[in-house]
């Protein structure tokens, strides 16, 4: 089969590789009909995540048709159309039984990214996300083996298109968990740092839950413009405004917002020193976005962090967080907890995640897709790919990709 494989930093290739096979009784093999490139793939693509090996298949946002079924699989059958969460969870360990699926303690033979690990159980295995997370082959491929198929796959009604539901695999539940963690609701104020796909999904979910005022911070005007037009956010470009946190504080009667969301993670731009130290591997993460988020949050507020962090940050102002009495919530998304509810909301028209897609490509063009998404070329917001040269091109719902969506969706 054809698949997008890793060969080193900024070197990914579409190769012919062996087809996946069933390995355990709860496995299925999925024929992928749509797959996307995530901001987390960019961390891998840029060579920033250890534990990648030559030939590893990338991709953790994907959906398709069940092709083969292991003997222990009861939840899905051959021919079912399903979306797969990027988190591989068993469904009945200590953490899964508490719906903390991304902490599943049975699916990851790797060690995760924690530096100060002690002898602690690893977090869940993830598709296409390095051998620290189990070395599972990803879904930017024609076929993929999906373990734990009684817990992960979510069946999709025929009436919904691939484009409408694909982001249930990652960024939609991630944006949703971020706003749930931020306790967003009617009358609440929020600042979202990062207008990438995760930030946009957070904005969509925050609107859906009735947030009163949403600030969004980035430095790509085309991303900020889209967010303002689609979700009615108030934008701040940090290339133009030296201190976005101060701007938010001043716009909220010198209090700050009820909650902030860091939808950027450890490669945040804005501090030349930290970018340099991170590149030299002296610093684990750039802390600039977190510092802005902490500063912009009102006393007693919440900082919610879906952006991925790794290792230490010297400039993390814990004393400021203490002085402000802040709550922090973060981590990989507990996907399986949120997917059924979000599928319903898509079906009811409350969420239209497909509107953020800017590029539909064939999997054969995946290398170009990575380049565009990485360098923000051609106003790239989100790349969706269709495997198989004979496959029909992925279609968005009628008109949605070109129709302006009113704020609130």
Which residues are at the interface with ligand NAD (CB under 6 A)? Answer: 38-40, 42-43, 170-171, 174, 193-199, 217-220, 223, 238, 263-265, 268-270, 288-289, 306-308, 332-333
- Is there binding between residue 104 and Zn ion (CB under 5 A)? yes
User: To which residue do tokens 């102002």 refer?
Assistant: 317
Task: Using the minimum distance from each CB to ligand NAD, give the nearer residue, 14 or 224.
Answer: 224
Give the tokens for residue 32: 């992928």
Question: In angstroms, rounded to a whole number, what is the distance separating the alpha carbons of residues 28 and 46?
Answer: 31
**Residues 6 or more apart whose Cβ sits within 8 Å of residue 96:** 89, 90, 104, 151
Task: Using the minimum distance from each CB to ligand NAD, give the nearer residue, 162 or 262.
Answer: 262
What three-state secondary structure class fits 220? coil
In the list ligand NAD, Zn ion, none, the entry touching 263 (Cβ below 5 to 8 angstroms by class) is ligand NAD
Burial of 151 (0-12, 13-18, 19+ CB in 10 A): buried
What three-state secondary structure class fits 193? strand
Task: Using the minimum distance from each CB to Zn ion, give the nearer residue, 93 or 363.
Answer: 93
In the list ligand NAD, Zn ion, none, the entry touching 90 (Cβ below 5 to 8 angstroms by class) is Zn ion
Task: Using the minimum distance from each CB to ligand NAD, give the nearer residue, 144 or 217.
Answer: 217
Query: Which residues within the stretch 72-91 sit at the binding site for Zn ion (CB under 5 A)?
Result: 89-90
Shortest Cβ 125–ligand NAD spacing (Å) = 14
Among 40, 230, 286, 336, binds Zn ion (CB under 5 A): 40
Shortest Cβ 243–Zn ion spacing (Å) = 30
Task: Using the minimum distance from each CB to Zn ion, give the nearer residue, 110 or 301.
Answer: 110
Counted residue by residue, the chain has a size of: 409
Shortest Cβ 98–ligand NAD spacing (Å) = 17
Question: In angstroms, rounded to a whole number, what is the distance separating the alpha carbons of residues 124 and 329?
Answer: 18
Task: Using the minimum distance from each CB to ligand NAD, give the nearer residue, 123 or 387.
Answer: 123
Among 27, 142, 162, 170, binds Zn ion (CB under 5 A): 170
Shortest Cβ 97–Zn ion spacing (Å) = 8
Give the tokens for residue 125: 């295995």
In the list Zn ion, ligand NAD, none, the entry touching 104 (Cβ below 5 to 8 angstroms by class) is Zn ion
Task: Using the minimum distance from each CB to ligand NAD, give the nearer residue, 222 or 255.
Answer: 222
**Residues 6 or more apart whose Cβ sits within 8 Å of residue 348:** none
Name beta bridge partners: 261.
Answer: 192, 304
In the list Zn ion, ligand NAD, none, the entry touching 93 (Cβ below 5 to 8 angstroms by class) is Zn ion
Phi, psi angle pair for 29, to nearest 5°: -110, 130
Across 60-160, the runs of DSSP E, i.e. the strands, are 61-69, 81-84, 87-88, 125-126, 143-146, 154-155
In the list Zn ion, ligand NAD, none, the entry touching 308 (Cβ below 5 to 8 angstroms by class) is ligand NAD
What count of other Cβ atoms lies within 10 Å of the Cβ of residue 399?
A: 7
Shortest Cβ 246–Zn ion spacing (Å) = 31
The DSSP secondary structure of 319-354, one letter per residue, reads HHHHHHT-EEEE-S--HHHHHHHHHHHHHTTS--GG
In the list Zn ion, ligand NAD, none, the entry touching 223 (Cβ below 5 to 8 angstroms by class) is ligand NAD
In the list ligand NAD, Zn ion, none, the entry touching 265 (Cβ below 5 to 8 angstroms by class) is ligand NAD
Shortest Cβ 210–ligand NAD spacing (Å) = 23
Shortest Cβ 173–ligand NAD spacing (Å) = 8
Instruction: Tell which residue, 153, 181, 177, has the closest CA to residue 165.
Output: 153
Task: Using the minimum distance from each CB to ligand NAD, give the nearer residue, 69 or 351.
Answer: 351
Task: Using the minimum distance from each CB to Zn ion, give the nearer residue, 203 or 251.
Answer: 203
Name beta bridge partners: 62.
Answer: 35, 84
Give the tokens for residue 402: 């070109």
Residues contacting Zn ion: total by CB under 5 A:
9
Shortest Cβ 242–ligand NAD spacing (Å) = 12
Instruction: Tell which residue, 176, 181, 216, has the closest CA to residue 196.
Output: 216
Instruction: Tell me if 140 sits within 8 A of 62, measured CB to CB.
Output: yes
Task: Using the minimum distance from each CB to ligand NAD, give the nearer residue, 241 or 405.
Answer: 241
- Is there binding between residue 38 and Zn ion (CB under 5 A)? yes
User: What DSSP character marks residue 207?
Assistant: H
Question: In angstroms, rounded to a whole number, what is the distance separating the alpha carbons of residues 336 and 57?
Answer: 23
What three-state secondary structure class fits 322? helix
Contacts to Zn ion by CB under 5 A? 38, 40, 89-90, 93, 96, 104, 106, 170
């Amino acid at each position: 089969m054809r698949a997008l494989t890793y060969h080193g930093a900024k070197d990914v290739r579409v190769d012919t590789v062996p087809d996946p096979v069933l390995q355990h009784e709860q496995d299925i093999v999925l024929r992928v009909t749509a797959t996307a490139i995530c901001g987390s793939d960019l961390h891998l693509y840029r060579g920033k995540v250890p534990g990648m090996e030559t030939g590893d298949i990338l991709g953790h946002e994907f959906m398709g048709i069940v092709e083969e079924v292991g003997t222990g699989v009861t939840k899905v059958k051959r021919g079912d159309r399903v979306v797969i969460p990027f988190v591989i969870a068993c469904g009945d360990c200590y953490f899964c039984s508490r719906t903390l699926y991304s902490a599943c303690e049975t699916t990851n033979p790797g060690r995760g990214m924690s530096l100060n690990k002690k002898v602690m159980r690893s977090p869940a295995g993830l598709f296409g996300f390095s051998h620290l997370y189990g070395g599972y082959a990803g879904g930017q491929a024609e076929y993929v083996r999906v373990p734990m198929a009684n817990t992960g796959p979510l069946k999709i009604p025929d009436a919904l298109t691939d484009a409408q539901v694909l982001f249930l695999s990652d960024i939609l539940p991630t944006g949703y968990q971020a706003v749930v963690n931020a306790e967003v609701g009617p009358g609440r104020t929020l600042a979202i740092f990062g207008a990438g796909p995760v930030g946009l999904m957070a904005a969509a979910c925050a609107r859906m839950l009735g947030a009163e005022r949403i600030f969004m911070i980035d430095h790509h005007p085309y991303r900020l413009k889209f967010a303002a037009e689609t979700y009615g956010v108030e934008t701040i470009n940090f290339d133009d405004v030296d201190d976005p946190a101060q701007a938010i504080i001043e716009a909220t009667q010198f209090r700050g917002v009820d909650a902030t969301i860091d939808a950027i993670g450890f490669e945040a731009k804005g501090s030349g020193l930290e970018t340099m130290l991170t590149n030299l591997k002296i610093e684990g993460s750039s802390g600039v976005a977190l510092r802005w988020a902490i500063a912009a949050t009102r006393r007693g507020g919440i900082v919610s962090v879906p952006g991925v962090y790794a290792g230490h940050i010297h400039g993390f102002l814990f004393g400021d967080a203490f002085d402000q009495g802040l709550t922090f919530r973060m981590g990989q998304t507990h996907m399986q907890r949120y997917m059924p509810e979000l599928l319903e909301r898509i079906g009811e028209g409350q969420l239209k995640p497909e509107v953020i897609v800017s590029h539909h490509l064939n999997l054969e063009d995946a290398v170009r897709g990575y380049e565009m998404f990485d360098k923000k070329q051609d106003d790239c917001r989100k790349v969706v790919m269709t495997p198989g040269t004979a496959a029909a091109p992925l279609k968005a719902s009628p008109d949605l990709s070109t129709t302006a969506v009113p704020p609130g969706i």
